Amino acid sequence: MRIAKGLMGLLLAMPLLASAEEIGQVSTVFKFVGPNDRIVVEAFDDPKVDGVTCYLSRAKTGGVKGGLGLAEDRAEASIACRQVGPISFKGELKDGEEVFKERTSLVFKTMQVVRFLDKKRNTLVYLVYSDRLIEGSPQNAVTAIPILPWTHAQ
């Protein structure tokens, strides 16, 4: 019982992160054994900002290692976030707050998206980058969404 309560407390203490939905993919390198190398397009909604969806494109390594989840994916990613409805906040936003994170190697490498609020320009800014336990990568991409009134077309 104490273990169950401890696990429940740990789950409640974890930050709320978005999960991605795969939109599509294209093959880039044919592999004789295992899945092909590919570019995957995924979408996720910002968990703290209603009305915002982000689209990520990134490389996924195939082959035997990729099929088993042992390959390390490349650090490059592209991001485009869009207003898809009226924007409203579900709490206080913190600059640099992580909104999405995914493992891109077996243990040490992750790709993550963080959010900033540019109050002066009334704009949400999203940054995607990859890091590694020992050495990260300077490769990154950024997108911005001006916070505008949402008018529903009739």
Q: Rounded mean pLDDT of 104-119?
A: 79
Confidence of residue 14 (pLDDT cuts 50, 70, 90): very low
Quick one: which of 113, 107, 97, 110 has its CA closest to 136?
110
What is the Cα–Cα distance from 130 to 152, expressed in whole angstroms?
Answer: 36
Q: Rounded mean pLDDT of 38-55?
A: 93
Q: Which percentage of the chain shows pLDDT scores above 70?
A: 65
pLDDT greater at residue 74 or residue 9: 74
Q: Which residue, chain included where needed, has tokens 């273990």?
A: 3
Q: What are the backbone dihedrals phi and psi of residue 133, each rounded to the nearest 5 degrees, phi first? A: -55, -45
Q: Which residue, chain included where needed, has tokens 């899945």?
A: 35
Q: Residues 50-102: pLDDT tens digits?
A: 999 999 988 876 655 555 555 555 667 889 999 999 999 999 999 999 998 87
Quick one: which of 60, 68, 45 has its CA closest to 115?
45
Say if CB 5 and CB 22 are below 8 A apart.
Answer: no
What is the Cα–Cα distance from 3 to 49, expressed in whole angstroms?
Answer: 33
